[in-house]
Structure 1
Amino acid sequence: IMDEFALFKGHRYATVVVDADTQRVLWVGEGRSRVAFRPFFTWLGPEGCAAIESVAMDMNTALDLEVRAQCPQAEVVYDLFHVVAKFGREVIDRVRVDQ
């Protein structure tokens, strides 16, 4: 499970990686960009990256792109909250405008 969270009020963030099976925190890094997140994959190494089967995350494009680049075999699963929120923002709002 990968997610970002605010460190302070404003725009400073950190990213956390949690093992879904053991619920252990594996890694925490400052930032939410691809560059900020890349050290996690360096820490894992090629064998660790190859062992990842799936990743649950919100719809953060930077995390998504980096996971797909580093672990192309991993299935990316978006959390339901963000899928429904995106649907509401993009589809339902568009229907309202059209009507």
Structure 2
Amino acid sequence: MSESTVPEGRRLPTWIIVLSLIVLLAFLGLIGWGLKRSMSGPISIGQKVPEFQMTTFDGQTLRSTDFAGKVIVLNFWASWCKPCEQEARELEEAYQYYKDSGFFWA
């Protein structure tokens, strides 16, 4: 026998190989679609945000409808979260930069 010859009876038919590749590509496409969908989040750009309300530390009630057409930044953090500490500094810098521009900060 020569180097890499396969007996004719042991070789897979071409249609099985092609079908296997199609199934594999479909599976990889499904995984990619799922990953893209999971990374996009529940709300897309331009989509209407669900209405919500919250109470500030001083007891003031804020409603999302009061800020229609404006940018709202909600930050959920924890005191034990190390990345949150860095983010808090960055948010404070943003506040100091924009506080005199008429933006509302709660």
When normalised by structure 2's length, the TM-score is: 0.20
Which structure has more strand as a fraction of its residues? 1
Higher Cα Rg, which structure: 2
